[in-house]
Structure 1
Amino acid sequence: MLTFAGILLAMFLGSLDQTIVSTALPRIVADLHGLDRFTWVATAYLVASTTLVPIYGKLADTYSRRKIEVAAVSIFLLGSMLCGLAGEFGDLPLLGDGMNQLVVFRAIQGFGGAGLFAMAFIIIADLFPPAERGRYQGFTGAVFGTSSVLGPLLGGFLTDQGSNWIPGVAGWRLVFYVNLPLGLVALWFILTQMPALIPRTDAKPLDYFSALLLMTGLGPLVVALQLNKTEYPWTSPFTLTLLGVAAASMVLFVVRSLRHDNPILDFGLFRNHVFRTANGALFLLGGAFLGIIIFEPLFMVNVLGVSATKAGVSLIPLSMGVVLGSLLAGQMVSRFGHYKRWMLGGLVVLLGGLSLLATMPATVGYWQVLAYLLLCGIGLGPTMPLYTLAIQNAIEPHLMGQATSASQFFRQIGGAITASVLGAILTFTLAHSLPASAAGASPPPTTAVSEGPALPATANEPASPAMRTAFTSAISRVYMFNIFLVLGGLCMTLFVPELPLRKSNAPDEPIPVTD
């Protein structure tokens, strides 16, 4: 349980840092004079944390889980400390000014953050057998849901108040320094309480060329998805080059993996029916979750006219619902042993909540929206732990790291791709809905997926009726697209086999037949 507490704390820090910087960005940009590069603060973390997840999974199948977790936490803490120091010593050789330093240091932080996510689920799989694992993996959904909303609130608070606590230190630096004491506590738990958890298979060296191909495939893809399409449209040479490099590298990665005797991702996993269908559902549902997180605050600010702070607070019911749904589903699965019905039930609840969001008029009340978000959160909660549990229960122990990290990867990459599509839908609808007099007014931007919504620093001026109508129509269309994503996830879930949960992690415990 002490090991469990340590990895949850580490996961909380990694999840928190996906959103905590969003509300600090305006102050960071002002201090470091990097308005032209502010989106890269988010993108650097996202690219690093997405591309490294499959590699961590492979490493966990090869070396001691404790060593990998210690390395991930240490890299994350190093990156956090460097981010807090960005620009303090002027321009640096090779890195340049403070903004460039912050972007590079955020990438280092992301290299560690990738391991905090992937390793949490892998280590929980070692600690508890599938029949008991649901109640513990439910806490991971609770941690993720809580940190997704707490991040922007804590980031804004530290940015505004931090300089009053430590004179001479900019408040936004505490956004990164706050990771250090909490991370050291997590590191102490892991070093002193966690068993080595050495894989039962013989260690083989990592295929570094495959790792390079994977990074050169996923990195440009995520960057292309996150680029501001006003400056770099889909048909621009730069965007097309990134996509071409990504496609070529991923093809080579697949070919290399199919021919190598120790691939980073064993493509034989896709022959497993649970692995295929559950990851397909996660890909779609990851996008649906981010669609709510990113675009609901825009509705609050531009349609209801609330302040940015109040818009951020409105996401708390969503977080509370995720916590409730995740914990409840995990407990019920551990008690009764059936996961599929809770997956389907959660998606039906989520569809109900999204239907209410998609049909909101411009006159909807603030508290009504909060109720809809609570409903969506309850529906999303079971998706956090149960799909990963189903995958882990259906695969051989020696592939646990690869299979588990793949589930996290498909959720993240699905979110990145879907958020880009939803952003295009919003922009296209606004362009055709706004009257000519307002055509020059652009909507508030959204940062990269990992940072959540980039809310204005102060409350917006009251929007005109035409602007409110345009935003209502645009965001309604975004939520309608989200409904189709969830319907797709529901269809995929229908084909996830309902297998009996294994009672132990013993190597001779038979793996349930999936086909």
Structure 2
Amino acid sequence: MTHPLTHRDKMLTLAGVLLAMFLGALDQTIVSTALPRIVADLQGLDRFTWVATAYLVASTALVPIYGKLADTYSRRTIEITAVSIFLLGSILCGLAGEFGPLPLLGDGMPQLIIFRAIQGLGGAGLFAMAFIVIADLFPPAERGRYQGYVGAVFGVSSVLGPFLGGLLTDHGDNLIPGVEGWRMVFYVNIPFGALALWFILTHMPALRPQGVPRRLDCLAAALLMAGLGPLVVALQLNKVAYPWLSPVTLGLLAAAAVLLALFVLRSLRSDNPILALSLFENKVFRSANAAMFLLGGGFLSLIIFEPLFMVNVLGESATRAGMSLIPLSLGVVSGSMLAGQMVSRFGHYRRWMLAGNVLLLVGLGLMSTLSEATTYTQVLVYLFVCGVGAGPSMPLYTLAIQNAIEPKLMGQATSASQFFRQIGGAMAAAALGTLLTLSLAKAVPATAATSPSSPPAAQRAVVSEGPALPTGATPEGTRQPAHIRQAFSEAISRIYLLVMGVVALGLLATLLVPELPLRKTNAGAPAVVMD
């Protein structure tokens, strides 16, 4: 039966979906610091990057599918399914290699890669459903402050992940005797996931979309996933081993282009498309997603290259390089929550988007001045400024899109915004990583060849195991030779100037986002049904 939700019901439901999203965000980064121990234990050095790539491919490709499912079936059912798949994947990852080679799965490392993909299938839903459920619970005029919590949770998890991963890897065997510490990186999801499930099962309403459910277009879903898979893999490949013009990279990109073109053709003919292409006729949807694509690229690029500067120019340890990102996280939390509160109070989102973009540009301008003379403290201040500027981007663009589209398309529109942000980050990271590699190869050829396959742990900690970059890193806490420090310093400074250009384009796209009055009701939203 239908039942009006109390504020307590809403907040408990919010707690459940945010806890679930926290797990998904945490798992993008928590594995990074455990990878060296995993490789040593499972003997898979030549395939270790796929541990991250498998998760990223699955979690990116499934985001639009979850959005469509949320527009068709009970939101609670979808959320429970996503959390359950994620927990199953976590348990399987923790068991990888425990029972030796398995039929069809191979030995330890192939098992872990497959299980990480399963984990990613659930992880995709944890991100998409957080924004969708919040949209169901609160009207646009109130929604900003609650979506600000999403940005805060994401910011905290991105920094806590590598720290917790290292802690569990080093000391996790003390928690369960006989269990390798790196396995605790996956097992730690179980109690938190169980708590999230309890919140969802006991307090979340069904939130069923209005109207009669229609069958999912399985062919379109298959084409979309088949197209996004090779695209993300092509972006993630180490461009030293597989340059942009290599047969492997070009083949993957060509396959992605053909399959995605077939998806578009199928969507144009389908009476129940996975993503209603008519959404792109909406100016808010079109311009806000363009801005998220560019700003997602700018933000991810910001956090990829800063640890490289810390390790290779200032001579900091990987641990201190990772800790240097804490001010960035604090800035994101502050900016996200402040912007959300201000929009809910005064009702204008565009001015806060623009203010955030400008402040992010200022922070990136400061980052572009990095040199050997820059101090550790200066970098922390610069990162905090960048974080405060980037904070409003996560909740407000999604809010603007949700406010501008029909409630019946809420799931598709919301998941599309998350998808464009993720793809923008992957594409920018891949392109700028290649430019850094080429720049270092030209300045110091030996440096580019030092480590073509793996960035330092501090770098990998915050980029969801992003594209591999050359490090040239010496043991922790020791300084590079002067010519290598100079090469890294100049190359990273130029990278940040390019990132400024990306964010400036995002600012221009934001100027095209119309300012619409925020709706004060949730008319047309899914019915609140208490089973």
Shorter-normalised TM-score: what interval? Answer: over 0.9
Residue 6 of structure 2: aligned partner: none
Residue 197 of structure 2: aligned partner: 187
Show CA shifts across 1:278-330 (max 9, x none). 00000001111111111110100000000000000000000000000000000
Letter in 2 for 1:136: Y
1:451 aligned to 2:465?
Answer: yes
1:150 aligned to 2:160?
Answer: yes
C-alpha distance 359-443 of structure 1, shift in aligned 2 (>3 A): farther
Note the aligned Cα RMSD (angstroms): 1.7
Residue 274 of structure 1: aligned partner: 284
| Residue 503 of structure 2, aligned match among 473, 481, 486 | 486
SS in 1 for 2:272: coil
Q: Report the more deviating stretch, 457-466 or 101-110.
A: 457-466
C-alpha distance 492-439 of structure 1, shift in aligned 2 (>3 A): closer
The offset of 1:453, in angstroms, is 8.8
Matches within 5 A, 1:32-43: 32-43=42-53
Instruction: Indicate if the aligned counterparts of 1:293 and 1:452 stay in contact, CA closer than 8 A.
Output: no
Matches within 5 A, 1:36-75: 36-75=46-85
The offset of 1:61, in angstroms, is 0.3
SS in 2 for 1:95: coil
| Residue 331 of structure 1, aligned match among 341, 348, 364 | 341
C-alpha distance 131-224 of structure 1, shift in aligned 2 (>3 A): same
Instruction: Indicate if the aligned counterparts of 2:331 and 2:388 stay in contact, CA closer than 8 A.
Output: yes
Residue 496 of structure 1: aligned partner: 513
| Residue 450 of structure 2, aligned match among 420, 441, 447 | 441
| Residue 228 of structure 1, aligned match among 209, 220, 238 | 238
Residue 102 of structure 1: aligned partner: 112
How far apart, CA to CA, are the structure 2 residues paired with 1:72 and 1:370? 36
| Structure 2: 5+ residue stretches without partners | 1-10, 526-531
Residue 215 of structure 2: aligned partner: 205
| Residue 376 of structure 1, aligned match among 386, 389, 405 | 386
Show CA shifts across 1:76-134 (max 9, x none). 00000000000000011101010000000000000000000000000000000000000
SS in 1 for 2:271: coil
Instruction: Indicate if the aligned counterparts of 1:393 and 1:502 stay in contact, CA closer than 8 A.
Output: yes
Show CA shifts across 1:246-272 (max 9, x none). 000000000100111000000000000
Instruction: Indicate if the aligned counterparts of 1:224 and 1:243 stay in contact, CA closer than 8 A.
Output: yes
Show CA shifts across 1:425-445 (max 9, x none). 1101111122x6656434783
Instruction: Indicate if the aligned counterparts of 1:226 and 1:420 stay in contact, CA closer than 8 A.
Output: yes
1:474 aligned to 2:484?
Answer: no
Show CA shifts across 1:33-61 (max 9, x none). 00000100000000000000000000000
Letter in 2 for 1:483: M
SS in 1 for 2:205: coil
How far apart, CA to CA, are the structure 1 residues paired with 2:311 and 2:447? 17
Instruction: Indicate if the aligned counterparts of 2:441 and 2:447 stay in contact, CA closer than 8 A.
Output: no
SS in 2 for 1:450: coil
Instruction: Indicate if the aligned counterparts of 1:308 and 1:457 stay in contact, CA closer than 8 A.
Output: no
C-alpha distance 68-458 of structure 1, shift in aligned 2 (>3 A): farther
SS in 1 for 2:183: helix
How far apart, CA to CA, are the structure 1 residues paired with 2:207 and 2:453? 47
The offset of 1:360, in angstroms, is 1.3
How far apart, CA to CA, are the structure 1 residues paired with 2:167 and 2:52? 19
The offset of 1:399, in angstroms, is 0.3
Instruction: Indicate if the aligned counterparts of 2:280 and 2:286 stay in contact, CA closer than 8 A.
Output: yes
Residue 438 of structure 2: aligned partner: 428
Residue 321 of structure 2: aligned partner: 311
Residue 178 of structure 1: aligned partner: 188
Residue 273 of structure 2: aligned partner: 263
How far apart, CA to CA, are the structure 2 residues paired with 1:250 and 1:457? 43
Normalized against structure 1, the TM-score is what?
A: 0.96
The offset of 1:460, in angstroms, is 5.1
Instruction: Indicate if the aligned counterparts of 1:294 and 1:453 stay in contact, CA closer than 8 A.
Output: no
Q: Report the more deviating stretch, 227-236 or 25-34.
A: 227-236
SS in 1 for 2:90: helix
Residue 7 of structure 2: aligned partner: none
C-alpha distance 365-253 of structure 1, shift in aligned 2 (>3 A): same
Letter in 1 for 2:122: G
Instruction: Indicate if the aligned counterparts of 1:275 and 1:391 stay in contact, CA closer than 8 A.
Output: yes
Letter in 1 for 2:140: P
Normalized against structure 2, the TM-score is what?
A: 0.93
Residue 479 of structure 2: aligned partner: 462
| Residue 371 of structure 2, aligned match among 349, 361, 366 | 361
Residue 394 of structure 1: aligned partner: 404
Instruction: Indicate if the aligned counterparts of 1:58 and 1:264 stay in contact, CA closer than 8 A.
Output: yes
Instruction: Indicate if the aligned counterparts of 1:62 and 1:204 stay in contact, CA closer than 8 A.
Output: yes
Instruction: Indicate if the aligned counterparts of 1:416 and 1:449 stay in contact, CA closer than 8 A.
Output: no
C-alpha distance 166-182 of structure 1, shift in aligned 2 (>3 A): same
C-alpha distance 387-439 of structure 1, shift in aligned 2 (>3 A): closer
Aligned length in residues: 508
SS in 1 for 2:329: helix
| Residue 119 of structure 1, aligned match among 117, 121, 129 | 129
C-alpha distance 444-351 of structure 1, shift in aligned 2 (>3 A): farther
The offset of 1:235, in angstroms, is 2.0
Instruction: Indicate if the aligned counterparts of 1:22 and 1:453 stay in contact, CA closer than 8 A.
Output: no
Residue 8 of structure 2: aligned partner: none
How far apart, CA to CA, are the structure 2 residues paired with 1:438 and 1:376? 29
Instruction: Indicate if the aligned counterparts of 1:308 and 1:458 stay in contact, CA closer than 8 A.
Output: no
Show CA shifts across 1:465-508 (max 9, x none). 10000000111111111101110000000010000000010129
Residue 251 of structure 1: aligned partner: 261
The offset of 1:241, in angstroms, is 1.5
Letter in 1 for 2:454: P
Residue 165 of structure 1: aligned partner: 175
1:405 aligned to 2:422?
Answer: no
How far apart, CA to CA, are the structure 1 residues paired with 2:73 and 2:415? 15
1:345 aligned to 2:355?
Answer: yes
The offset of 1:166, in angstroms, is 2.1
How far apart, CA to CA, are the structure 1 residues paired with 2:333 and 2:324? 16
The offset of 1:244, in angstroms, is 1.2
Letter in 1 for 2:184: L
How far apart, CA to CA, are the structure 2 residues paired with 1:337 and 1:439? 50
Residue 96 of structure 2: aligned partner: 86
Instruction: Indicate if the aligned counterparts of 1:320 and 1:374 stay in contact, CA closer than 8 A.
Output: yes
C-alpha distance 172-285 of structure 1, shift in aligned 2 (>3 A): same
Letter in 1 for 2:497: M
Instruction: Indicate if the aligned counterparts of 1:53 and 1:114 stay in contact, CA closer than 8 A.
Output: yes
